[in-house]
Structure 1
Amino acid sequence: MMRISKDYDERKNEILDTAERLFHTKGYEKCTINDILNEVGIAKGTFYYYFKSKQEVLDAVVSRYSEFIINRCEKVLRKDITPVEKLIRLFLSMRINNEVGGDVLEEMHKPENALLHQQTLKEIVVVMAPFLVQVIEEGMDKKVWKCKYPLEYMQIFLASSITLTDEGIFDVDADSQQRILVALISLLEKMLDVPEDSFLQLFNENWG
């Protein structure tokens, strides 16, 4: 039976949707290109028309998560709010729980999905850093804070925060995670040379 030809983007998204689901259920390493082909119902040549390798599919899946974050960050930067409010809202934009769903996050934390998990965390740092630097520099221009190494400090803060609070990496209970968050906020205050507890209340009000 002849398969109806589909639009390029529609077919590509169909492959990505299927691959993403299989990566989560079978694990990235165990999932093969043939698994994806069989599930979508396409020939190998069709797959390679869209993607050069399974790794390229993984990169595209991770890029989907970053698109959620980028869209949120761009909306924050367009708002007429203070640099402090922008900074806090940008950090809140890192959370992708609602977009990818709790079940997906649980699957991502499994050992067989370590590569997908690692790639996602790396992508968050790469994507978020430029947005944070833009706000840090805006705050410096407005004399809200001082920061000697905007990019490097934000990279350090991002890598620390998303790693230490990730339940898939560190087995921490709610109390421990809360203490880590408070310590991270204190660290951010030191990085920006603002008085202690300048951000804590604002974070508590927004981190729901």
Structure 2
Amino acid sequence: MRTTKEYNERRNEILNAAEKLFHGKGYEKCTINDILKEVGIAKGTFYYYFKSKEEVVDAIVSRYKEIVVSRAEKILKIDNISPEEKLMHVFKAMRMEEKVNSDTLNDLHKTENALLHQKTLNQIVTAMAPILVKVIEEGIEKKVWSCSYPLQYMQIFLAAALTLTDEGIFELDADSQMKVIAALISILEKMLEVPEDSFMKLFMQNLV
């Protein structure tokens, strides 16, 4: 008798198989039939859970996003740190290396996974900007800094930071990457109208 699995269990099984195949073969080369064989299900079962391969990608991207958002939201609830520290901790929470293995991240950067990569960046900017706004508003309320356009500035900053520091897009040596990071921090300081070098020391402390 065929075993009926719980909805979420089967859905996650499909996602796990698809993620493995996307990273191994690349999104473009992987077919729905490949996923069916990997999981051992019929096409009708696949379409019960997902309408298309792209919908599977969206669900996988949501996994990455949820890791970052969950960590950032926990930081928002911390009361005994300054807005400056909270801001740096939220940025640190976005470092996927601590939750996703290096092989997975390297595969994400492959040309054949461009859509998966693009969607991940898009979702992280969309989800994280409002969280950063809460930190910015806390700093404004405590008169730590000023900011005319919190949401728009955070969207611009995230899009620039995630793109320019992404090794899958720009191949920079260590010195060039540090200069980009220094420039991004300088831009953040101008956005929040704080003195120059206000964030550099905090940033370096949060790298470890």
Q: TM-score scaled by structure 2?
A: 0.97
Moved more, 70-79 or 92-101: 92-101
Q: Tell me by how many angstroms 1:29 deviates.
A: 1.1
Aligned to 1:204: 204
Q: Which amino acid aligns with 2:151?
A: L
Aligned to 1:177: 177
1:3/1:40 CA distance change after superposition, 3 Å: farther
Q: Which amino acid aligns with 2:31?
A: T
Aligned to 2:67: 68
Moved more, 193-202 or 4-13: 4-13
1:75-111 deviations in whole A, cap 9, x for unaligned?
A: 1001012111111111111111122210011111111
Identical counterparts, % of pairs? 66
Following TM superposition, the consecutive aligned residue runs of length 4 or more in structure 1 with deviations greater than 4 angstroms are: none
Aligned to 1:114: 114
Separation of aligned partners in 2, 1:71 and 1:32: 31
Separation of aligned partners in 2, 1:9 and 1:206: 36
Separation of aligned partners in 1, 2:3 and 2:31: 25
Separation of aligned partners in 2, 1:155 and 1:207: 22
Q: Residues 14-163 of structure 1: matches in 2 within 5 Å? A: 14-80=13-79, 81-163=81-163
> Aligned to 2:166, what secondary structure does the other structure show?
coil
Separation of aligned partners in 1, 2:14 and 2:111: 24
Does residue 4 (structure 1) correspond to residue 3 (structure 2)? The answer is: yes
> Aligned to 1:163, what secondary structure does the other structure show?
helix
Q: Which amino acid aligns with 1:96?
A: M
1:45-99 deviations in whole A, cap 9, x for unaligned?
A: 1111111111110000000001101110111001012111111111111111122
Q: Which amino acid aligns with 1:22?
A: L
Separation of aligned partners in 2, 1:205 and 1:98: 17
> Aligned to 2:9, what secondary structure does the other structure show?
helix
Separation of aligned partners in 1, 2:152 and 2:44: 43
Q: Tell me by how many angstroms 1:4 deviates.
A: 2.1
> Which structure 1 segments of 5+ residues have no match?
none
Q: Tell me by how many angstroms 1:23 deviates.
A: 0.8
Separation of aligned partners in 1, 2:61 and 2:153: 24
> Which structure 2 segments of 5+ residues have no match?
none
> Aligned to 1:100, what secondary structure does the other structure show?
coil
Q: TM-score scaled by structure 1?
A: 0.97
> Aligned to 1:29, what secondary structure does the other structure show?
coil
Q: Tell me by how many angstroms 1:40 deviates.
A: 0.1
Q: How many residues are matched? A: 207
Separation of aligned partners in 1, 2:20 and 2:98: 16
Separation of aligned partners in 1, 2:4 and 2:27: 28
Q: Which amino acid aligns with 2:24?
A: T
Separation of aligned partners in 2, 1:98 and 1:188: 24
Q: Name the Cα RMSD after superposition.
A: 0.9
